[in-house]
Amino acid sequence: MSIEEPMRNTEQEIMPPSIAQINSPEGYNIYPYYPLGEGQIFEGFRQLADYIIAQKTVIIDGYVGVYWTRIVRSLEREFQRRGIRANVVEASSFLKQEKVIDALADEFLGEKDAVWGKKTSMELADFFDLDALRSSAILQDYELNLLVGCGASLSGWDAALAYVDLPKNELQHRMSAGAICNLGKSRPQDPAEMYKRFYFIDWVVLNAHKQALLPRVDIFIDAQWEEEINFAYGESIRKGLQKMSRSVFRARPWFAPGAWGGQWMKQRMPQLDQHEVNYAWSFELIVPENGLVFESAGLLLEVSFDLLMFQQSKNVLGRHAERFGAEFPIRFDFLDTFDGGNLSIQCHPSLDYIKTQFGEQITQDETYYILDCRDNAGVYLGFQEDIEAEKFRSVLEESNRDGVEVDIAKYVQLHKAKKHDLFLIPNRTIHSAGAENLVLEISATPYIFTFKMYDWLRLDLNGKPRPINIEHAFRNLDFSRKGEKVKQELISRPQVLFEKDGVTCYHLPTHKEHFYDVHRLDFSSQVEIKTEQVCHVLMLVEGEAVQVLTEDGTEMDFVYAETFVIPASAGSYKLINKSALQAKVIKAFLK
């Protein structure tokens, strides 16, 4: 059912299953959670077995990357202790032949060495011999019948439904260890190939399947731990999502090292594993790969952020829900280059290009907000006035071919960075974050479509060159973004919107191609804000801590650099400064 050893390839620890096992800091917390109420989360296979025995017939469906064999073995031990015979049917035994699935997948994966594929139009049912799966019998001479694995609910069994979820960061740690396979594969592949197939095929079909199942799931199971599980009743999770969609919440962030990564987060976030060489990214709010953690009586259970959008898109996005549907459109993440290196010289695709080539519906428009920096920090943005496209391409190709260093500043402008600057990076704009920055990317959600043109002749953390994508880049670069036009159009100039009662609200205008905008609220005491049916994504970018009070009575505290979300349906909320220092809060929202 799955390959299981070694389990993970990372220095970072798995989120503990209970609060009691967390070393809670005074500052930034990497394990935020949302209260579900007392007695709503349960632990262990013993209690899950009790539920299954009471139901007699159960489907256990779930996500790719789950260690299904471990789950089955653990449950079978519990049944044996009770002297109960169980008929366990594996959904994977009804998959089509691997070569048949590969042929279907190839259409969406492009060439073997291509970095990107195209989002699939397949459905989960396409992976299975449905007639055989639906003919799988419930055996009456067994006391229990279980159908287990991805796609199990396609059987049509009249049974209770459990769903096993797995956080995307843990899935990728297992992937990097060669411990799991793509859906329909019998062996792990190169991690880059596996990620491509996960992103463009497996996650697409399984997310659609999860969305369809959400209203009728009886039990949600969190299976990110090696020997443990936590679970909750489906109705409890659905009620929790509904409450969250009218309140305030914070997604669980996760962190990754990289070729250019820095030390800022490592030094200021004490819960992070200190054995990692660096931390390049924090997935603060990159919702296709974030989870939401619920808490009850000290127990923790994580579900994918997708569930909130599948069930409560209207509450979360308000008047923008019709446009974006179940896609959360704003991304917050950190790029840490303190004591690190420059990012690659890069650009992102136009809207038409990302739609036709990769199957995305919105493109990777970005901004760089400078949360912190050293005096020598800078941002590469826009071309020099005298740029010649063909000459620049020739220099890049020579560098890629022969390993020749490029004097990038001859072609690309380097702007001095200061705290609280906002650099605008609409699609097709050449850019890079220089060393000695802690960048808050305030961006549209797409996040993997980066066309690297020059990567400073360095290797990745595995000692291999990172892919260079000059061809893709030159199909998208806007060479009119050069000279003085860059300073006029791509560096935001803050404007005071209002000053009242010790509050100053600044507008940090974004580019006309950005579908989101940015305000900054500077205050010493408190400020009240109305959502006006628009979702707000916020972060304390200067100060120590703020308390958030929402219209429904929810109170939550957030410290410096923590990202939090106010759904559109929250109505109004207060931000209360919890320290003697002035608070500065960034607020991003859809136009």
- Tens of pLDDT along 196-211? 999 999 999 999 999 9
Q: What is the pTM of this model?
A: 0.96
* Residue 525 pLDDT > 90: yes
Q: Where are the beta strands (DSSP E) in 257-354?
A: 281-285, 291-296, 299-304, 330-336, 345-347
Q: Do domains 30-244 and 329-489 have the same CATH topology?
A: no
Which stretch of 134-138, 257-261, 447-451, 481-485 has the lowest confidence by average pLDDT? 134-138
* Strands 86-90 and 555-559, sheet pairing: unpaired
Domain ranges of the chain: 30-244, 329-489, 495-590
What span, in angstroms and rounded, lies between the C-alpha atoms of 223 and 232? 12
11: pLDDT confidence band, cut at 50, 70 and 90? confident
What span, in angstroms and rounded, lies between the C-alpha atoms of 251 and 316? 13
Rg (CA), the chain: 25
3: pLDDT confidence band, cut at 50, 70 and 90? low
What are 141-150's pLDDT values in tens digits?
999 999 999 9
* Residue 5 pLDDT > 80: no
What are 563-591's pLDDT values in tens digits?
999 999 999 999 999 999 999 999 999 99
Could you check whether the bond before residue 191 is cis, i.e. omega within 30 degrees of 0?
no
1: pLDDT confidence band, cut at 50, 70 and 90? very low
Average pLDDT score over the chain:
97
Task: Give me the CATH topology for the region 329-489.
Answer: Jelly Rolls (2.60.120)
What is the four-CA torsion angle of 95, 98, 100, 106, rounded to 10 degrees?
Answer: 120
- Contacts of residue 237, defined as CB under 8 A and 6 or more positions apart, other chains included, come to 36, 217, 220, 294, 303, 307
Task: Tell me the one-letter amino acid at 557.
Answer: D
Q: What is the predicted pLDDT for the residue at 4?
A: 52
What are 74-89's pLDDT values in tens digits?
999 999 999 999 999 9
When pLDDT is averaged across residues 170-186 and rounded to a whole number, the result is 97
Give me the helix-helix angle, 68-81 and 44-55, nearest 10°.
70
Residue 132, token pair as written in the block? 């055989």
* Residue 112 pLDDT > 90: no
By C-alpha distance, which of 369, 375, 362 is closest to 326? 362
Q: How far is residue 93 from each of residues 189, 320, 410, 505, measured CA to CA in Å? A: 21, 42, 59, 60
What are 373-402's pLDDT values in tens digits?
999 999 999 999 999 999 999 999 999 999
* Residue 6 pLDDT > 90: no
7: pLDDT confidence band, cut at 50, 70 and 90? confident
Q: What is the predicted pLDDT for the residue at 23?
A: 86
* Upper half-sphere CA count for residue 318 (Cβ side, 13 Å): 18
What span, in angstroms and rounded, lies between the C-alpha atoms of 498 and 329? 27
Q: What is the DSSP code (8-state) at residue 344?
A: P
What are 120-168's pLDDT values in tens digits?
999 999 999 999 999 998 999 999 999 999 999 999 999 999 999 999 9
Task: Give me the CATH topology for the region 30-244.
Answer: Rossmann fold (3.40.50)
Residue 227, token pair as written in the block? 């020997």
Q: How many CB atoms lie within 10 A of CB 18?
A: 15
When pLDDT is averaged across residues 29-47 and rounded to a whole number, the result is 98
When pLDDT is averaged across residues 436-460 and rounded to a whole number, the result is 98
What would the DSSP string read from start to end of 562-585? -EEEE-GGG-EEEEEE-SSSPEEE
Task: Give me the CATH topology for the region 495-590.
Answer: Jelly Rolls (2.60.120)
When pLDDT is averaged across residues 488-516 and rounded to a whole number, the result is 97
- Looking at the chain, the whole-number percentage of residues with pLDDT higher than 70 is 99
Q: Give the residue ranges of DSSP H helices in 284-388.
A: 306-317, 321-324, 351-358
303: pLDDT confidence band, cut at 50, 70 and 90? very high
- Looking at the chain, the whole-number percentage of residues with pLDDT higher than 90 is 96
